[in-house]
Amino acid sequence: MSTLFSPIKLGKLTLPNRIVIAPMCQYSAQDGNAAPWHLMHLGQLALSGAGLLIIEATAVEADGRISARDLGLWSDANEQALASTLAAVRQHSSMPIAIQLAHAGRKASTSVPWEGGTLRPSTAGGWRTWAPSPLPFMHGNEAPLALDDAGLRRVREAFVAAAVRSARLGIDAIEIHAAHGYLLHQFLSPLSNQRDDAYGGSLENRMRFPLEVFDAVRAAFPAERPVGVRVSATDWVKGGWDLEQTAAFAAALKSRGCDFLDVSSGGLSPQQQIALGPGYQVPFAERLKHEVGMPTMAVGLITEARQAETIVTSGQADMVALARGILYDPRWPWHAAAELGAQVEAPPQYWRCQPREHKELFRGAKLG
């Protein structure tokens, strides 16, 4: 039996296997509305045989978009557009679907990656961004506006409203984005949070707003559906956010009913020094899994079936999340199942494509 293809429970949600499709920004929305591209993108991934599909970082307010082309869930129009996309996907796939709710903070207002991905100031087609402190991401960038009490309340309520919309859409789980240098990560790291009020300074204070957002989302989303958090385990910068602080944050999340951690790293500072290599972030997931005792997803240069199998079989993580690798090979779970002697769900329209040497690959396949 392959551990990678064994089921796992996140709260009351059972995933058929431990392969997760990580949220990947597509920069293809119009005013936050899902477009035909999203139907093509999510549709093909929903037929991949993975255990869970997480929709890309979805802005909870317009100012929280990374770019003007980001997906959003702050309006009725956003909700209706995504509802249409999900209805089409669900006609042909029973794969559980989660959504990543996000706010980009000071890393908002950029051009799309294929146009450079650089910050667009408010004087050149962009908008003023928000952050814990008026510190720009890069030297020379327009400084963000520091969130005051009213701003904190506005953002918190925006996360809640997006969680309520997610519930109406039938979303199976929520992942709150507190990684990659976006707003909630900016509150956590002492490099970006230099406030002198109750939301800055000590670790307890820097965790306060992200924990308030988690509590508010958890209360607004149906109790039987899981809520997890994506974290950056380290800033990869001396004096920044690190694994010890992440463990404290994770323990606080667990005490509040968090169902899973998606463990990544970096993204907060252009000064980061990352030691890249296959599975380079897996040790972070392993440490948090064993120290905090919460289901974890490992991410980052996990590309091979036996590599993924080893990660979950050895107990380094409970799940693996694929991003670029599954874009390159949208049938990665099929190929992994064939290599590991396991089975996956596949639509009956595709049953006849099973290779002769893997004729038991698709669960329930019947060919006359």
pTM value?
0.97
Q: Which residue in the block uniquely carries the two structure tokens 């100031």?
A: 121
Q: Can you read off the two tokens belonging to residue 151?
A: 């701003």
Pairing relation of β-strands 13-15 and 8-10? antiparallel
- Give phi and psi for 72, each to the nearest 5: -140, 165
Report the pLDDT value the prediction gives residue 367, as an integer from 0 to 100.
65
106, 192 contact by CB (below 8 A): yes
337-341 — which CB contacts under 8 Å span 24+ positions? 337/2, 337/5, 337/49, 337/361, 339/305, 339/306, 340/2, 340/4, 340/5, 340/305, 340/306, 340/309, 341/2
To the question of domain 8-358 being in CATH 3.20.20.70, the answer is yes
Which residues, 6 or more positions from 45, have their beta carbon under 8 angstroms from its beta carbon? 21, 53, 326, 330
Q: Which pLDDT score, from 0 to 100, does residue 364 have? A: 82
- From the candidates 182, 280, 328, 350, give the one annotated as an active-site residue: 182
Write down the pLDDT at residue 217. Answer: 98
User: Residue-wise pLDDT tens for the chain (368 aa)?
Assistant: 899 999 999 999 999 999 999 999 999 999 999 999 999 999 999 999 999 999 999 999 999 999 999 999 999 999 999 999 999 999 999 999 999 999 999 999 999 999 999 999 999 999 999 999 999 999 989 999 999 999 999 999 999 999 999 999 999 999 999 999 999 999 999 999 999 999 999 999 999 999 999 999 999 999 999 999 999 999 999 999 999 999 999 999 999 999 999 999 999 999 999 988 999 999 999 999 999 999 999 999 999 999 999 999 999 999 999 999 999 999 999 999 999 999 999 999 999 998 889 989 998 887 65
* Predicted local distance difference test score (pLDDT) of residue 368: 54
- Our CA angle for 295, 301, 307, nearest 5°, is 70
Q: Are 53 and 11 in contact (CB under 8 A)?
A: no
SS in 3 state form for the chain? Answer: CCCCCCCEEECCEEECCCEEECCCCCCCCECCECCHHHHHHHHHHCCCCCCEEEEEEEECCHHHCCECCCCECCCHHHHHHHHHHHHHHHCCCCCCEEEEEECCHHHCCECCHHHCCCECCHHHCCCCCEECCCCCCCCCCCCCEECCHHHHHHHHHHHHHHHHHHHHCCCCEEEEEECCCCHHHHHHCCCCCCCCCCCCCCHHHHHHHHHHHHHHHHHHCCCCCCEEEEEECCCCCCCCCCHHHHHHHHHHHHHCCCCCEEEECCCCCCCCCCCCCCCCCHHHHHHHHHHHCCCEEECCCCCCHHHHHHHHHCCCCCEEEECHHHHHCCCHHHHHHHHHCCCECCCHHHHHHCCHHHCCCECCCCCC
Q: Which two tokens stand for residue 337?
A: 């199942």
- 27 a catalytic residue: no
**How far is it, in rounded angstroms, from Cα 228 to Cα 253?**
9
**Which amino acid is residue 240, in one-letter code?**
G
In whole angstroms, what is the distance from residue 274 CA to residue 263 CA? 15
